[in-house]
């Protein structure tokens, strides 16, 4: 049960519910012990021809009354134990989701979405079962076993009880050995389910690519392979877990065989009465459930423990990006003076530098343009500024403060970032633009941001306008519309630092020119960073740097870089040629 220590706080808060549930469960078990005594009395009275109609009605009423008590008790223990298990599921899912939100970007680079989804569904469900029905079965198994044994010994016969219980040690040993195998195999089942979920999730997300390249059959083959692996792992588990129940039933049958044989002899010899024999068999039938539950409860607990271990692996993972002990928490605003000093950076688990010896100053109100080939380090540079990763060497200063001394929340709230992947949520367009705000904001701000990013006219043409619900990842919009919506989401924050990471690449040059003219008002008195492949996007920047293989190889104004006739000049000439060809 060591894996469940993570839930200690929950158990403390809900110990009363579990206590009441167990109490009601014990009351039900006690009431079940009464029925064999009633049957004993009725049988003995029948055997001696002493049972009257009034006696029969009285004992029938007692059985009905006991049944009502058992039914009521079962309702209450289900409310307290099963209901609390549902609360646990709710608590654990929230805890897992909150912790995942706190983890650094690099964690999600190496962990598949399908795997994380499996943790939040199958694994949590297995934990709920272990701490719901698992507790019920353990309580039943312990209390009914002890109580029934006590009644069998006290009211019937010690030797008969010992003989009836003789197969149990062998049962306990076998179940304990099989439990370890179940634990191991269930872990494999959960891992294969993660692979299955990941394959399905990735395929659904990329269904348009699959269809475009006519790869449906190939993807079906890949899915069948993963599905077959999941099936095989489940069958390996079923071969063991499916053996437990019939095995326990077989052992129970041996106990019945012993009781019928030896108990029958005792009745014939008048050592015990026929009523004692009937009551003994009733108690033995009560023991069959705990004996059967042993296999099932071991199965459930082992599954729950395996799943909790997988969840704990995530919960024990510490975020790489954390608040510094020297963070200045009363700092809530940023002016926007940025200084990169001898900054170098390697991505986790790599030896090659993504950025090397970056020295750069961006005064407040200035605009920096960044140009470079794909993979030159442009996005990495702004990721360091957002503290999505921490620098490997050197220092980044904002307003003359080391970046780590600025609280993460303050840093990111003061930066408006339009990333190149343009991720949109399955909400309305209005909600996507206002994503940065916790409360509803004035619609006029949303409209204004949309006008600046030149998406307003497109949106109002939709039947529901800004209340149009987007599909997954904003798939119902075109690439250019998604880019401009993401741009509006960054603009509406009115940030101290505005970063546009290749956020105009999917729009035509005329729309780009309109957006850049609109942005001039927004960029005033703000620090701006424009990352682009098009020279037209950055040519009016106050300062431009050219990155190549993680290093700054050129810097200066547009005119300076043209006169240098290096990489920037080469890119510019190629783009001019492309424009001439398009205009022919």
DSSP 225-280: HHHHHHHHHHHHHHHHHHHHHHHHHHHHHHHHHHIIIIIHHHHHTTSS-HHHHHHH
Handedness of CA 381, 387, 390, 394 (dihedral sign): positive
Q: Which of 529, 541, 554, 558 is nearest to 378 (CA)?
A: 529
pLDDT at 442: 86
- pLDDT digit string (tens) for the chain, length 584 residues: 557 778 888 888 898 999 999 999 999 988 888 888 888 888 888 877 787 888 888 888 998 999 999 999 999 999 999 999 999 999 999 998 888 888 888 788 777 777 788 788 888 888 898 888 888 888 877 888 788 778 878 777 788 778 877 777 777 677 767 777 877 787 788 788 878 877 887 787 677 667 766 778 888 888 898 899 989 998 988 888 778 777 777 877 787 788 788 888 888 888 888 888 888 878 777 776 676 666 667 778 888 888 888 888 888 888 888 888 877 877 678 888 999 999 999 988 788 899 999 999 999 989 999 998 888 889 899 999 988 888 889 999 999 899 998 888 888 889 888 887 778 888 888 988 888 888 888 888 999 999 998 889 888 988 888 888 887 777 778 888 888 888 898 899 888 999 998 887 777 878 888 888 888 888 888 899 999 888 888 888 999 999 999 999 999 999 999 998 888 888 888 888 877 776 66
pTM for the model stands at 0.74
- pLDDT score for 147: 81
- Run of H or E residues at 34: helix 15-47
Long-range contacts of 267-272 (CB under 8 A, 24+ apart): 271/157, 272/156, 272/157, 272/160
- Rounded-to-integer distance, Cα 40 and Cα 271, Å: 15
What is the secondary structure of 380-406 as a DSSP string? HHHHHHTTSS--SEEEEEETTEEGGGS
Of 569, 103, 12, 128, which Cα lies nearest the Cα of 313? Answer: 103
Cβ 457 vs Cβ 486: under 8 Å: no
Q: List the helix and strand counts (H, then E) for the chain.
A: 24, 10
Q: Can you give 532-543 as a three-state secondary structure string?
A: CCCHHHHCCCCE
Instruction: Report the pLDDT value the prediction gives residue 291, as an integer from 0 to 100.
Output: 65
One of 3.40.1710.10, 1.10.150.110, 1.20.1560.10, 3.20.20.70 is the CATH number of 2-315, namely: 1.20.1560.10
The reported pLDDT for the residue numbered 355 is: 92
Residue 98 neighbours by CB distance under 10 Å? 9
Give the residue among 525, 517, 515, 507 at the shortest CA–CA distance from 450.
515
Whole-angstrom distance, CA of residue 290 vs CA of residue 304: 19
In angstroms, the CA 118 to CA 465 distance is: 36
Cα-to-chain-centroid distance, residue 28: 37
Rounded to whole angstroms, how far apart are CA atoms 451 and 474? 19
Q: Cα–Cα distance between 111 and 65 in angstroms, integer?
A: 57
Q: Which residues contact 291 (CB under 8 A, 6 or more apart)?
A: 168, 171, 248, 251, 252, 255
Cα distance between residue 535 and residue 420, in whole Å = 17
DSSP state of 290: H
Q: Tell me phi and psi for residue 89, to 5 degrees.
A: -60, -45
Map tokens 């694994």 to a residue: 123
CB 516, CB 485: distance < 8 Å: no
- CB-based burial of residue 64 (10 Å sphere; 0-12 exposed, 13-18 middle, 19+ buried)? exposed
Contacts of 403 (CB under 8 A, 6+ apart): 385, 387, 395, 396, 397, 411
How far apart are the C-alpha atoms of 246 and 240, rounded to whole Å? 11
Tokens matching residue 143: 């209390």
Q: Is 148 exposed, middle or buried (0-12, 13-18, 19+ CB in 10 A)?
A: buried
- 60's CB contacts (< 8 A; 6+ apart) are none
Which strands form 338-346's sheet, in the order they lie side by side? 353-362, 338-346, 393-398, 401-402
């Amino acid at each position: 049960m060591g894996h469940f220590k993570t839930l200690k706080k929950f158990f403390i808060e809900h110990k009363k519910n579990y206590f009441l549930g167990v109490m009601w469960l014990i009351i039900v078990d006690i009431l079940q012990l009464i029925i064999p005594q009633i049957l004993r009395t009725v049988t003995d009275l029948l055997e001696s021809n002493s049972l009257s109609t009034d006696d029969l009605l009285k004992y029938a009423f007692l059985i009905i009354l006991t049944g009502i008590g058992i039914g009521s008790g079962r309702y209450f223990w289900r409310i307290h134990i099963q209901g609390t298990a549902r609360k646990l599921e709710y608590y654990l899912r929230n805890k897992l989701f909150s912790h995942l939100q706190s983890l650094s970007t690099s964690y999600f680079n190496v962990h598949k979405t399908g795997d994380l989804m499996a943790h939040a569904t199958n694994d949590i469900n297995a934990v709920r079962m272990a701490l719901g029905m698992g507790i019920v079965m353990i309580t039943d198994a312990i209390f009914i076993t002890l109580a029934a044994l006590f009644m069998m010994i006290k009211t019937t016969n010690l030797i008969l009880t010992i003989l009836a219980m003789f197969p149990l040690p062998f049962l306990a040993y076998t179940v304990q050995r099989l439990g370890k195998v179940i634990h191991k195999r269930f872990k494999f089942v959960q891992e294969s389910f993660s692979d299955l979920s990941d394959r399905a999730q990735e395929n659904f997300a990329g269904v348009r690519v699959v269809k475009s390249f006519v790869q449906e059959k190939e993807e079906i083959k890949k899915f069948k392979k993963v599905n077959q692996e999941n099936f095989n792992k489940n069958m390996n588990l079923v071969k063991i877990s499916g053996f437990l129940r019939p095995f326990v039933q077989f052992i129970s049958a041996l106990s019945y065989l012993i009781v019928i044989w030896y108990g029958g002899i005792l009745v014939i010899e008048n050592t015990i009465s026929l009523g004692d024999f009937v009551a003994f068999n009733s108690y033995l039938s009560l023991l069959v459930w705990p004996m059967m539950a042993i296999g099932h409860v071991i199965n459930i607990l082992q599954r729950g423990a395996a799943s909790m271990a997988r969840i704990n692996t995530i919960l024990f993972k510490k975020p790489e990006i954390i608040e510094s002990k020297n963070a200045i928490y009363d700092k809530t605003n940023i002016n926007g003076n940025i200084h990169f000093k001898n900054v170098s950076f390697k991505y986790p688990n790599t030896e090659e530098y993504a950025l090397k010896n970056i020295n750069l100053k961006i005064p407040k109100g200035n605009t920096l343009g960044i140009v470079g080939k794909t993979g030159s380090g442009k996005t990495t540079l702004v990721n360091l500024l957002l503290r999505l990763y921490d620098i490997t060497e050197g220092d980044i200063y904002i307003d003359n403060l080391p970046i780590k001394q600025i609280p993460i929340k303050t840093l990111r709230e003061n930066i408006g970032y339009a990333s190149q992947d343009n991720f949109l949520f399955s909400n309305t367009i209005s909600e996507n633009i206002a994503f940065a705000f916790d409360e509803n904001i004035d619609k006029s701000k949303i409209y204004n941001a949309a006008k600046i990013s030149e998406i307003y006219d497109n949106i109002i043409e939709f039947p529901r306008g800004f209340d149009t619900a987007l599909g997954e990842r904003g798939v119902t919009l075109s690439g250019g519309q998604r880019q401009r919506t993401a741009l509006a989401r960054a603009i509406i924050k009115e940030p101290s630092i505005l970063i546009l990471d290749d956020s105009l690449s999917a729009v035509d040059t005329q729309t780009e020119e309109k957006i850049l003219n609109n942005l001039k008002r927004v960029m005033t008195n703000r620090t701006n960073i424009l990352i682009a492949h098009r020279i037209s996007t950055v040519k009016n920047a106050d300062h431009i740097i050219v990155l190549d293989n993680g290093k700054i190889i050129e810097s200066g104004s547009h005119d300076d870089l043209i006169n240098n006739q290096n990489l920037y000049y080469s890119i510019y000439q190629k783009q001019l040629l492309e424009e001439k060809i398009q205009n022919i």
